[in-house]
Amino acid sequence: MAPSHAVRCCQRGLSWIPVVFINLVVGWSYYAYVLELCICESSSGWRQFLIYLLIFHMIFAMFLWSYWKTIVSRPVNPSKEFCLPKPEKEQYEKEERVEVQQEILKRVARDLPIYTCTGSGAIRYCDHCQLIKPDRCHHCSSCDQCVLKMDHHCPWVNNCVGFSNYKFFVLFLGYSSLYCLFITATVLQYFIKFWTNQLPDTHAKFHVLFLFFVASMFFISVMSLFIYHLWLVGKNRTTIEAFRSPVFRGGTDKNGFTLGFSKNVAEVFGDEKKLWFLPIYTSQGDGYTFPTRLVTTDCEQQTLYHQHISKCSTDGETNGRLVGSDGVHMSHL
């Protein structure tokens, strides 16, 4: 037991290395841009550099805010409602026949708002966490837990990106792209002066050189990832669903959760557009149930969905951010 605990502690410690690396790079970029470039070169035009510094610090603050919100927002796990009751759990563990185990899971899942299944049509069950997976929920081996609306595990934030922090992650990509673009654009003229030997022969010119290269490379990589996730938001898909389409009872449907561009965006960023660009939680829903395209109407599942909404409202689990109450139908595909 002790060695495994020690290994887990080492893994947790090592998992913070990418985060430390990013913060060191960001810290150096701040030093190089503010001290070595703006302050040291301010004698050649202090008004220009004052404007640079004001814009730089605004972007820098939003970048750090969204980055650390992504890191500290812990993944949301399925509630006990999705765990097997004790009698069914004992029966499930004793049973060796897969088809009988599935019958046990189906009996329990009949009272849950679940619309997706495995590729073979079986109930999605996590043997490790011992629970029935809600729609769009997946087990993260790095976090060692099931995560609601899991998108992916990101080593650069040492966290699982999912329902609780996906908006923060997208904003982090956006502001980091803007941060790198601003540095690249404002340092370009000094980068050109470096190659034409017009900069003073000091150590500051090497900071300018590397600052331009680092900002440019990070901008290209982060911007491409940002564009990709904007596309995912517009399609209402997670990274997992983009590579493996969700399976409903009627079959695979990559657009099963698509509600139209505006509603897809609102599901992640909320209805108040003035809060879209702030790293403040405004996403819609409770992470367990999601509106789907109306393909067929299943009265039984409609009833279960509304029972779930009522239960969550009574228990105070959703904090008034439930979806589906705006007239969007739930379809059991």
Q: Using one digit for the tens of pLDDT, what is the confidence trace for 56-92?
A: 999 999 999 999 999 999 999 999 999 999 998 989 9
Q: Write down the H helix ranges in 31-114.
A: 46-72, 86-94, 98-109
Distance CA 74, CA 303 (A): 31
Three-state secondary structure call for residue 7 = helix
Question: SS3 for 145?
Answer: strand
Q: What share of the chain is helix, strand, coil (3-state, %, to 5)?
A: 55, 5, 35
- The catalytic residue among 38, 137, 143, 154 is 154
The owner of tokens 């004992």 is: 90
Q: Could you confirm whether 154 is annotated as catalytic?
A: yes
C-alpha closest to that of 129 among 147, 152, 110: 147
pLDDT in tens, 225-280: 999 999 999 999 999 999 999 999 888 989 999 999 999 999 999 999 999 999 99
What is the distance between the alpha carbons of residues 102 and 125, in angstroms, rounded to a whole number?
A: 9
pTM of the predicted model as reported, rounded to 2 decimal places: 0.84
Taking only the tens place, the pLDDT of each residue in 28-63 is: 999 999 988 877 666 566 777 888 899 999 999 999
